[in-house]
Structure 1
Amino acid sequence: MLLYLISFLVLFSFIVIIHEYGHYYFAKKAGAKVEQFFIFGLPYFNLNKEFLGWNDKDGTRWSIGYVPIGGYVKTLGAEDYHLSQQEIDEKHSKEDQKYLIYNKKYYQKVLYALGGPLANFLSAILVFSLIFVFIGKDVTPFSINEVVKDSPAEKAGLMAGDKILSIEGNKVENIQDVSKYIRTSTGDKIEITIQRYSENKKILVQPNEIFDQDNLIKKRTKKRVIGIVIAYSTDQKVKKQFGPVEAITLAVKEVFFVCKQILIFIGQLLTGSADISQLSGPVGIAKMTGEAAKLGFLTFVTVFAYISISLGLMNLLPIPLLDGGIIVLFTIEKIIGGKIKKEYLEVYSRIGLTFIMFLTVFALYSDLFI
Structure 2
Amino acid sequence: MEFLQSVFSAGSGLLSYAIPALFVLTIVVFFHELGHFMVGRWCGVTIKAFSIGFGPELFGFYDKHGTRWKFSAIPLGGYVKFEGDENAASVPDEEAMKKMSADEREGSLHAKPLWARAAIVAAGPVANFLLSIVIFGMLLFAYGKPMTPARVDSVVAGSAAEEAGFEPGDIMVSIDGGVIEAFSDVQRLVALSSEDVLQVVVDRGGSLITLQTTPRRTEVTDQFGNKQKIGVLGIRHESNPDDVVRKQFGPVDALWGGVEETYFIATRTLGYIGRIFVGKEDADQLGGPIRVAQVSGQVATLGIVALVNLAGMLSVSIGLINLFPVPMLDGGHLVFYAAEAIRGKPLSEKSQELGFKIGLAMVLSLMVFATFNDITHIFLSD
The normalised TM-score by structure 2 is: 0.88
1:298 pairs with 305, 324, 338, which one? 305
Residue 309 (structure 1) aligned with residue 316 (structure 2) = yes
2:9 aligned residue: none
Query: In the TM superposition, what whole-angstrom CA distance separates every residue of 1:53-88 from its partner, at most 9, and x where no partner exists?
Result: 1x323222222345555332111112285455xx46
Residue 70 (structure 1) aligned with residue 105 (structure 2) = no
> Do the aligned residues in 2 keep the contact of 1:30 with 1:108 (CA within 8 Å)?
yes
2:46 pairs with 33, 48, 51, which one? 33
Of residues 17-26 and 197-206 in structure 1, the stretch that sits farther from structure 2 once superposed is 197-206
Residue 128 (structure 1) aligned with residue 156 (structure 2) = no
Long gaps (5+) in structure 1:
none
2:247 pairs with 224, 240, 247, which one? 240
> Do the aligned residues in 2 keep the contact of 1:121 with 1:312 (CA within 8 Å)?
yes
Long gaps (5+) in structure 2:
1-12, 378-382
Match of 1:31, as an amino acid?
G
1:328 pairs with 332, 335, 351, which one? 335
Match of 2:51, as an amino acid?
F
Partner Cα distance (2:113, 2:262) in 1 = 30
* Offset at residue 302 of structure 1 (A): 1.0
Partner Cα distance (1:28, 1:221) in 2 = 44
Partner Cα distance (1:334, 1:236) in 2 = 57
Change (3 A) 1:234 1:10: closer
2:201 aligned residue: 193
Residue 338 (structure 1) aligned with residue 345 (structure 2) = yes
2:325 aligned residue: 318
2:19 aligned residue: 6
2:34 aligned residue: 21
Summarize the alignment of residues 260-271 of structure 1 with structure 2, pairs less than 5 Å apart: 260-271=267-278
SS in 2 for 1:57: coil
1:163 aligned residue: 171
> Do the aligned residues in 2 keep the contact of 1:139 with 1:240 (CA within 8 Å)?
yes
Residue 227 (structure 1) aligned with residue 234 (structure 2) = yes
Residue 281 (structure 1) aligned with residue 288 (structure 2) = yes
Match of 2:290, as an amino acid?
V
Equivalences, count: 361
> Do the aligned residues in 1 keep the contact of 2:84 with 2:92 (CA within 8 Å)?
no
SS in 2 for 1:350: helix
> Do the aligned residues in 2 keep the contact of 1:139 with 1:173 (CA within 8 Å)?
yes
* Offset at residue 252 of structure 1 (A): 0.8
* Offset at residue 230 of structure 1 (A): 1.6
* Offset at residue 156 of structure 1 (A): 0.8
> Do the aligned residues in 2 keep the contact of 1:168 with 1:181 (CA within 8 Å)?
no
Residue 214 (structure 1) aligned with residue 214 (structure 2) = no
Summarize the alignment of residues 55-134 of structure 1 with structure 2, pairs less than 5 Å apart: 55-79=62-86, 81-82=91-92, 87=95, 90-134=98-142
* Offset at residue 352 of structure 1 (A): 0.6
Match of 1:147, as an amino acid?
V
Partner Cα distance (1:64, 1:5) in 2 = 16
Partner Cα distance (2:325, 2:318) in 1 = 14
The normalised TM-score by structure 1 is: 0.91
SS in 1 for 2:238: strand
Q: Percent identity?
A: 33
Match of 1:20, as an amino acid?
E
> Do the aligned residues in 1 keep the contact of 2:195 with 2:231 (CA within 8 Å)?
no
SS in 1 for 2:209: strand
2:146 aligned residue: 138
Partner Cα distance (1:89, 1:83) in 2 = 6
> Do the aligned residues in 2 keep the contact of 1:37 with 1:63 (CA within 8 Å)?
yes
* Offset at residue 261 of structure 1 (A): 1.3
Of residues 8-17 and 267-276 in structure 1, the stretch that sits farther from structure 2 once superposed is 267-276
